[in-house]
Structure 1
Amino acid sequence: MARGKIQIKLIENSTNRQVTYSKRRNGLFKKANELTVLCDARVSIIMFSATGKLHEFISPSTTTKQIIDQYQKALGIDIWSTHYEKMQEQLKQLKEVNRNLRMEIRKRMGDCLNDLSIEDLQGLEQEMDSSVNLIRDRKYRTLTNQIDTSRKKVRNVEEIHKNLLHELDVLKEDPYGLVDNGGDYDTLIGYQNGGGGGSDLTTYPLLD
């Protein structure tokens, strides 16, 4: 059964799109390898998926740089020189940003103010005042939190001290831990033997 033609357009479903990419990539690399073996061609294929993943095919005993160098030689262009110029321009911009940041830091330290106009000095003063207010506000919040924490610790210590004093008062009133049961002291230290007869009382010495 003949396979129907597939309309060439973006596959909307991301899963189907990734599966199709993997299958066609493998097929393309297979054809490139056959071309290398059958025709002694030097082939380099660089691919990036929709997720940014790199896939590359290079002919055996060949590097991508060699292919690009041969490409430049064939077209009479210099890709590396153009790339180097772009990197130099980016480096120049970064150095300028760094220089401006260092200048701003020195201004806030009170240096490099001679060339500033009155408007620039006023603007700098307002920025410094705003910064000081923010720092002061943060300092006050930090101090408040520390004071609240200290107060909680003091309250806990006072509560512990109060409980200890209470326990000490209890011990002073009843040093041996005896309870008042209406004055029947005999029942605490001995027992009675019989209802109306004499009582055999057993006593125990108290420990110091």
Structure 2
Amino acid sequence: MGRGKIEIKRIENPSNRQVTYSKRRHGIFKKAEEISVLCDAKVSLVIITNNSKVHAYHSPTTSVEDILEHYHKISGKRLWDAKHENLSNEIERIKKENDNMQIELRHLKGEDIAALPYTELQQLEDALEHGISSVRDKEMEIYGKLQKNVRRLEEERKELTYLWHCQHKQEVMEGDMGEMEGGVCINPQDRDYRYQIPPFGLSMQPNFHDIFDVK
């Protein structure tokens, strides 16, 4: 009993759709590989999913670009419009500029300069001297900014020190005024001596035994 025909339509269940895609993709890639090996054919296969994932296969001896270029020559049709061709030319131009810049950078490092003519060596020397001068100018500019910042920080430090001394002096004066309001005026220089005076009502009697050494 043979299998019934399966209606070809979109699978609504996402899980079933993903499983079917994975199985069918492996099957298609396997068939593409077989026809490439058995028939010595150039095969290129590109699959793009609905969530923009790309899966591709091409014959081991070629590439997708080579196959497309071969298709252009055989069919006489161009898959790329003028805009894409201009972009391709721009990419090639940028690649060449990048290669030239890499060569120039090696020359500036002193590499691969043995074969350079005298005029190019002179131009290279002028470029290096100009670069050194620019670096020195920038160095002096940064040094000047650092010096300015140091001076500003030193002025801020002096100002903060002055404010701290003023505040400390004010606190000392307020303490002295409080003592004067209590009926006692004390010289700040005698402050430590004041705490050596015994409390009122107590007197220090001399020790006659120590004076006359009475035994």
- TM-score interval for Structure 1 and Structure 2 normalised by the shorter chain: 0.3 to 0.5
TM-score by length of 2: 0.38
Choose between structure 1 and 2: higher helix proportion.
Answer: 2
TM-score by length of 1: 0.40
